[in-house]
Chain A
Amino acid sequence: MIGVLLAGAHPGQRHPGVRDTADLARGALLIRFGRAFGPNRTAHWQRALLIAALIGLTMQGLQGMRWLTGLVTDRTGDILPIAEWPFIVASALLPIGGLLLMGAGRRWPAAGLAWALIAVEETFVYLMVLEHSIPAPGPLALATYLTTWEKLVPLVATVSLTLLREPRRGLKSLGPARLALGFAGLLTAFIWVEELARFTPAFLAGLAVFAVTAGLALRSATGRRLLILLALPSFAYMALLLRYFDSGLVAVVGMVALCAVTAVFPRQGDPRAPEARRAEP
């Protein structure tokens, strides 16, 4: 496209004219929305839901690991009853297992673990309510995390994995494997944002990983797209932790925005018109 603009430029012209600029902006919008709402929209939205599932499980896994770390190091001094430990361990391991199975292309086992995650968390909340009907610090503070956001995210992951074929499409569309570190680093940094005030080693380590991988990711179009995708749930989660917005609103807007951006900005190289290409000799 730049070559076309240069070829049509007048001698000495350094910038496109107003009409060319408006035409480029209009063309870009047509291309983006044509893909998200055009003939092959189903494939783009399916990929978007699988990426939402991927990000959802990763966030759940990181959150579970955070709880687990708190449980082991006992920083807060609020020791949970031993009977609740399995729930914490399960909430950390089930999403990680789901991610691994998703990466291996095992749709039904991955969906099974996602369903199990919902069952574990629902049971945990139920037990919390039964056991601690009187507000108390510690366990109830933990239970307050299991609000709408924490219910919606695994629900999206579970429904996506249950309904959609080839879960690896989400991984492939997200970007090359080397960007996975940036992915985890960014989420870790934002999920552990609460540690910011304390400047704990955990937060600083997450921030360092994020800085390095974000720098690497910015070098490619796929990496920049990945950063935009990950920034949405990360900032939504941060806003939730800082209590700027209602949990339900953040959850719905965050997930819808994530899917919409994924569908409108498909990764370069994502199949665009498989039906048409198959028809080609």
Chain B
Amino acid sequence: MQEPTFLILTALASGPQHGYAIITEVTGISAGRVKLRAGTLYAALDRLQTEGLIAEDREEIVDGRVRRYYRLTGEGATRLATEAERLRRNAAEAVARLRTGYAGGTA
């Protein structure tokens, strides 16, 4: 799973969000490292909908424009949890090896 996809699913894990909220959430989660543009976001949302990982939740009219909310599906939550666990294990392994190797190699 690519990082933007992971971050979008993570942004939706706490509840339904509209497009601009997803962009700000992703920027926040990644500490400003990943800044999604509108075209990239909506292409990703379309693909994730096709894959069944997210779904349209509801629409609101704000300032005369449709604001569409997206939510994580059950399948999306499972995929996100699996990916998060994989990343956690990899990160834990990297940290453990660094502690051992780096400490041993330089001490």
Query: Across the interface, do A24 and B38 meet the contact criterion of CB distance under 8 Å?
Result: yes
Known A4-B20, A38-B50, A273-B50; contact A23-B55, beta-carbon cutoff 8 A: no
A136 at interface, CB cutoff 8 A? no
Query: Across the interface, do B67 and A34 meet the contact criterion of CB distance under 8 Å?
Result: no
> By CB atoms of chain A within 10 A, which of B39, B42, B47, B51 has the most?
B39
B43 in complex: contacting residue of A5, A30, A272, A279, CB < 8 Å: A30
How many angstroms between the C-alpha atoms of A31 and B47 in the bound complex? Answer: 7
Query: Across the interface, do B73 and A280 meet the contact criterion of CB distance under 8 Å?
Result: yes
- Closest Cβ–Cβ distance, residue A269 to chain B (whole Å): 12
Query: Across the interface, do B50 and A27 meet the contact criterion of CB distance under 8 Å?
Result: no
B50 in complex: contacting residue of A8, A40, A279, CB < 8 Å: A40
B7 at interface, CB cutoff 8 A? no
Query: Across the interface, do A3 and B43 meet the contact criterion of CB distance under 8 Å?
Result: no
Q: Which residues of chain A (1-44) have a CB below 8 Å from chain B? A: 1-5, 7-8, 19-20, 22-28, 30-31, 34-35, 38-40
Cβ-closest chain A residue relative to B63: A3
A276 at interface, CB cutoff 8 A? yes
> By CB atoms of chain A within 10 A, which of B19, B55, B65 has the most?
B19
When distances are taken between beta carbons in the complex, the residues of chain B under 8 Å from A275 are 52
Known A38-B47, A39-B51, A272-B50; contact A280-B74, beta-carbon cutoff 8 A: yes
- Closest Cβ–Cβ distance, residue B98 to chain A (whole Å): 36
How many angstroms between the C-alpha atoms of A244 and B98 in the bound complex? Answer: 72
Cβ-closest chain A residue relative to B35: A8
User: How does the 8 Å CB contact mask read for A249-281 relative to B, with 1 for contact and 0 for none?
Assistant: 000000000000000000000001101110111
Cβ-closest chain A residue relative to B54: A276
A23 in complex: contacting residue of B19, B40, B65, CB < 8 Å: B40
When distances are taken between beta carbons in the complex, the residues of chain A under 8 Å from B75 are 276, 279
When distances are taken between beta carbons in the complex, the residues of chain B under 8 Å from A280 are 52, 55, 73-74
Total CB contacts across the A-B interface at under 8 A: 87
Secondary structure dominating the interface of A: helix
Query: Across the interface, do A31 and B65 meet the contact criterion of CB distance under 8 Å?
Result: no
When distances are taken between beta carbons in the complex, the residues of chain A under 8 Å from B37 are 19-20, 23-24, 27
Known A3-B67, A4-B23; contact A34-B50, beta-carbon cutoff 8 A: yes
Query: Across the interface, do A34 and B23 meet the contact criterion of CB distance under 8 Å?
Result: no
Known A34-B43, A281-B74; contact A1-B38, beta-carbon cutoff 8 A: yes
A4 in complex: contacting residue of B41, B43, B46, B49, CB < 8 Å: B41
Q: List 10 A-B contacts (CB under 8 A).
A: A1-B19, A3-B18, A19-B37, A20-B37, A26-B40, A27-B37, A38-B50, A39-B50, A39-B51, A276-B51
**Besides the known contacts A279-B52, A280-B73, 8 further A-B residue pairs in the complex with CB atoms under 8 A apart:** A19-B37, A26-B43, A27-B38, A28-B43, A30-B46, A34-B43, A34-B47, A276-B52
